Amino acid sequence: MTGLTTAAARALDSTLDRTIAPGFTRLGYAVRRRLPTWPADPTPGILTGHHVAVTGASSGLGECTAHDLAALGATVHLVVRDAGRGGRVAAEIESAVGRAGAARVWVCDVADLDSVRTFCSAFLAAGLPLRALVHNAGALPATRTESPQGHELTMALHVLGPVLMTELLLPLLGADAGRVVFVTSGGMYSQPLPVDDPEFLRGEYSGTTAYARSKRGQIELLPILARRWLPAGVSVSATHPGWAATPGVQTSLPRFNALLGPSLRTAGEGADTTTWVVAADPAPASGQLWHDRQPRPTSIMRRTHPTALQRERFWEWVAESVTLPDFPSP
């Protein structure tokens, strides 16, 4: 493997990506790590003195990401719904890195826009400059469920809440050349942007379809958000973890979990690129989707590739739903 030329390594990497199954499993991660195109690991201690917030940090990918960022020196802010579970993770992080204060717990339901506003108000009052905000909180409901504001749950949790949270925390992110990371899913490749029905009011509801549609929404907002947040000095990326074994997958997709079994990535392998995007020096280019430390196409099938007008229409729905006082379309 070490004798591969750069061109051959890139071709192999792309082949793994396009064929999905090998590239998204443990095999894809193991092969890519051995290619000469694999970027260097973050410098030890590179996040010392920096603050990073991770939503959904009480289990799975979010918990692993928080551990990895703290190991690089960051003070990690665990944004969770359950303070008790968050406290357990915080204690484990501080024990692992041997540093008191390495992790702090904040309670917030990202799907609840009022909860997001309350959390952001408290965080802004603390005045801590943010190096990164990782939007990892996720859910895959079995039946159509609405947020407290009446939005379909996956769109509220994966799109509306994260956009609102970032907008409110921009002053803190801009103070440290901040990076915003949406942890998305390869499942979004199967779905087009639901411009005409973002709330999934039509047809028979499917949790897996709703999840993938909301993740498509994250991806298609990237160019718009990159332009919007550039004046604040804030970049935005999305990462997808491949197929990783997490509590969420085991609970929400038991057949998928049982079928792939040992082929699934560990949480650490799934979280690797998110940690790398946060810690890489220099910062990765804004507005891109990353998987296994390389930029990836956002659509594979033509039917899932939206027009610029469709992206703008979706953005207008997000802007109206979030109802910030100053929220113009870019």
- In angstroms and rounded to an integer, the radius of gyration of the C-alpha atoms of the chain is 19
Contacts of 83 (CB under 8 A, 6+ apart): 105, 107
211 belongs to the catalytic site: yes
Active-site residue, selected from the candidate residues 29, 189, 205, 211: 211
- Separation of alpha carbons 287 and 284, rounded Å: 9
State the first-to-last Cα distance of the chain, in angstroms, to the nearest integer: 46
Tell which residue, 280, 277, 287, 267, has the closest CA to residue 56: 267
Helices 267-279, 60-71: axis angle to 10 degrees equals 50
CA distance 138 to 110: 9
- Do the beta carbons of residue 151 and residue 199 sit within 8 Å? yes
3-state helix, strand, coil in the chain (%, to 5): 50, 15, 35
Catalytic residues: 211
